[in-house]
Amino acid sequence: MIKIVLACAFGMSTSMLVQRMQQEAVNRGLNADICALSETELKGKLANVNVLLLGPQIRFQLKSFKAEFEPMGIAVDVIEMTDYGRMNGAAVLDKALALSRAKEQEK
């Protein structure tokens, strides 16, 4: 199972994207746990998370989130603005899967 968390300023704007990613995971037969949290909710809620994707509106925090969460084995990156704007669940899921595979290969 892959566990993916999307983070944004308040955790609300990513909820529709999460739904589209969940549907895409079902369509592909993937066992995925995908949720959205606000940036302030992240601490203590990332147990067993594989990938943390930041909404474009908080991309300025990428460096600090990488420093905090990558040592825990969590891949961290920013959702592409076009994929976010179009609510492209398939593309964002692809990105998360690629990040998870790359992190696994580092081990």
Catalytic amino acids? 8
Residue 54: C-alpha distances to residues 8, 45, 82, 106, 107 (Å): 6, 15, 14, 21, 23
Read off the tokens for 29. 């037969």
Pair 84, 56: CB distance under 8 Å: yes
